[in-house]
Structure 1
Amino acid sequence: MENSRVEIMVGLFMAIGLLAFGWLALRLGEVQLLSQGKTYTLNASFNNVSGLKNGAEIQISGVNVGTVQSIRLDPNNMALVTMQLQREVKLPQDSMASIKTQGIIGDKYIQLTLGGDSELYGEGDTVVDTESTVDIESLISKFAFGQLGGSGAGK
């Protein structure tokens, strides 16, 4: 009798432990099923998203307010970025989304600059006022070849 009581207690302890571990894994893994009520999606259309990845941060004034959920081409061959933002973040319709780099060669992230419009973006809307990533290689190439071509043409 005493053996079965111990076995029941150990079984209950193991079941509670497994449930707690599962709950913790879901919370730390940010499973979308659990966070749907806390976030909403918003799209942004860019000419160039080179270097931006799924899971990249979305920031307002340096504070992380969401993540990049997906990146795909829209019917106009523009890069359409789906952003998952915290529900508390209210984005006026004259806001701007820019792709920035953390540090000189750091990861890319999206910087949201809030506007002053009273109308707000809603679930699934698309931000059209965007600033694409700067392609450093093409800038260096234009500068180098522009300087060489410009000095040779004037002589």
Structure 2
Amino acid sequence: MRIRTLEISVGAFIVAGIGALFLLALEVSGLSLSPTQDTYKLYAEFTDVGGLRVRGKVSLSGVTIGRVNSISLDPKSSKAVVEMDIDADVNYLSADSVAVISTAGLLGEKYINVSIGGDEEALKDGDFFYSTQGALNLEKLISDFATSQ
């Protein structure tokens, strides 16, 4: 009886560990088991997206307000066009808001940080951010510093 209890507790511990690894994998990948909420699409053009990925987060004041849906290249302007899904309850982003590609930590993941402007008109579904700032390219900065006299 005692051996049977030990086997059951070890089995339960292994099942709990596998469940925890599964939840960790979902969290790291950016996927979610919760149902998706209503969103609207906003777009931004960047000269350099520098490592930004699809499903990357879009944040405002450190709070995630959306996700990157797609990244494509505009053949006319040769700029990267980023499509973002913004939560529907965040409907107060002013028309002069700024989208900046930032880095979480020194070598962390890239995400889009939104700063709200002062305009009374709000961005609507399908609108573009008027002002953007691309990713900071550390390799280029180091190369420029190393080769400068």
TM-score of the aligned structures, taking structure 1 as reference length: 0.71
Q: Deviations over 1:1-51 (max 9, x none)?
A: xxxxxxxxxxxxxxxxxxxxxxxxxx7165xxx53xx11000011000010
Q: Which amino acid aligns with 1:41?
A: K
Q: Which amino acid aligns with 2:46?
A: F
Secondary structure (helix, strand or coil) at the match of 2:43 reads: strand
Q: Equivalents in 2 of 1:50, 1:144: separation in Å?
A: 21
Match of 2:43 in 1: 43
| 1:138 and 2:143 correspond | no
1:128 maps to which of 119, 130, 134 = 130
Percent identical: 40
Match of 2:113 in 1: 111
Q: Number of paired residues? A: 116
In structure 1, list runs of 5 or more residues that go unmatched.
1-26, 150-155
Q: Equivalents in 2 of 1:29, 1:135: separation in Å?
A: 35
Q: Equivalents in 2 of 1:117, 1:91: separation in Å?
A: 9
Q: By percentage of residues, which structure has more helix?
A: 1
State the 4+ residue runs in structure 1 displaced beyond 4 angstroms.
none
How far apart are residue 77 of structure 1 and its match?
1.1
Give the alignment's Cα RMSD to 1 decimal.
1.3
Worse-superposed segment, 55-64 or 71-80: 71-80
Q: Equivalents in 2 of 1:131, 1:66: separation in Å?
A: 18
Q: Equivalents in 1 of 2:104, 2:137: separation in Å?
A: 15
Select the structure of larger CA radius of gyration.
1
TM-score of the aligned structures, taking structure 2 as reference length: 0.74
How far apart are residue 128 of structure 1 and its match?
2.5
Match of 1:65 in 2: 65
